[in-house]
């Protein structure tokens, strides 16, 4: 199954139909998604500022990290679930959208940045945990994280402005009619009404 067929299947699923039919589902789920993303960005931002040496310097990094991480993951999980619900009813449109692809790329980048930090600088955290001056690796990870998450948010918003329009005419659509011929039934072949 290719990506387009997969997107079509998602778009025609029962959940998508429910999203399309409900007046309240979209605004409620969208609001939760925004709050979840704000939680992710807000908690990560606290950690990033600590990594950059701007905030919470009197507290060990491991404590700041430990206290915020659970909220980050909770927010992220909520954002993934609500994001999937927003994605499914318009899946075909989103998979063809550049801003959406760039947002997903940003999420992958954020994951890589976090993994690199965890497997390198964080492993030596005991040596700089309470230091006011954080190591270069920590500062790079913090700055990269802020930039990437800002990128994710901007691309997320940009999706709504760039979903665009698919002007292609379906292959089965015959527009070679001519009402001047008096063909009252010239649409009967495809008339579904």
Partner 1 sequence: MIRIATGVFVAGLMAASFVLPAQAHHSFSIFDSSKTRVFTGVVVRVNPDVNHLQIFFAVMNEERKNVIRDDKGQPIIWAVEMAGSAQSAREGISVNAFPPKTIISVALHPLRSGEPAGDRGGTAMFKCPANTPPPPGKHCDSVEGSVAFGTGKLPTPTT
- In whole angstroms, the minimum distance from the beta carbon of 136 to partner 1 comes to 15
The answer to whether 41 touches 149, Cβ cutoff 8 Å, is yes
Q: Which is nearer to partner 1, 9 or 38 (CB)?
A: 38
- In whole angstroms, the minimum distance from the beta carbon of 17 to partner 1 comes to 9
- In whole angstroms, the minimum distance from the beta carbon of 104 to partner 1 comes to 18
Q: Which is nearer to partner 1, 15 or 69 (CB)?
A: 15
Q: Which is nearer to partner 1, 119 or 191 (CB)?
A: 191
Query: Which residues sit at the interface with partner 1, rule CB under 8 A?
Result: 19-23, 25-26, 34, 37-38, 41, 45, 49, 52, 54, 86, 89-90, 93, 146, 150, 153-154, 156-157, 160-161, 163-167, 169-170, 173, 175, 177-180, 183-188, 190-193
Q: Which is nearer to partner 1, 118 or 154 (CB)?
A: 154
- How is the chain classified by DSSP, letter by letter? --HHHHHHHHHTSHHHHHHHH-TTHHHHHHHHHHHHHHHHHHHHHHHHHHHHTSS-TTS-HHHHHHHHHHHHHHHHHHHHHHHHHHHGGGHHHHHT-HHHHHHHHHHHHHHHHHHHHHHTGGGGGGGTTT-SS--HHHHHHHHHHHHHHHHHHHHHHHHHHH-----PPPTT------GGGT-TTTTTTT---
Q: Which is nearer to partner 1, 1 or 21 (CB)?
A: 21
- In whole angstroms, the minimum distance from the beta carbon of 155 to partner 1 comes to 10
- In whole angstroms, the minimum distance from the beta carbon of 131 to partner 1 comes to 17
């Amino acid at each position: 199954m290719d990506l387009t067929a997969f997107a079509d299947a998602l778009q025609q699923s029962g959940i998508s139909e429910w999203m399309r039919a409900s007046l309240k589902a979209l605004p409620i789920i969208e609001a939760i998604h925004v709050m979840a993303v704000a939680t992710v960005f807000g908690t990560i931002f606290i950690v990033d500022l600590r990594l950059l040496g701007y905030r919470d310097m009197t507290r060990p990094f491991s404590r700041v990290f430990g206290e915020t991480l659970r909220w980050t993951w909770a927010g992220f999980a909520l954002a993934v679930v609500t994001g999937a619900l927003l994605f499914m009813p318009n899946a075909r449109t989103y998979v063809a959208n550049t801003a959406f692809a760039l947002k997903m790329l940003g999420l992958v980048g954020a994951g890589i940045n976090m993994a690199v930090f965890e497997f390198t600088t964080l492993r030596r955290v005991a040596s700089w945990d309470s230091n006011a001056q954080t190591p270069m690796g920590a500062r790079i990870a913090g700055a990269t994280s802020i930039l990437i998450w800002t990128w994710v948010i901007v691309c997320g918003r940009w999706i709504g402005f760039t979903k665009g329009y698919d002007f292609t005419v379906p292959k089965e659509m015959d527009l070679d009619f001519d009402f001047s011929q008096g063909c009252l039934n010239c649409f009967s072949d495809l008339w579904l009404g």
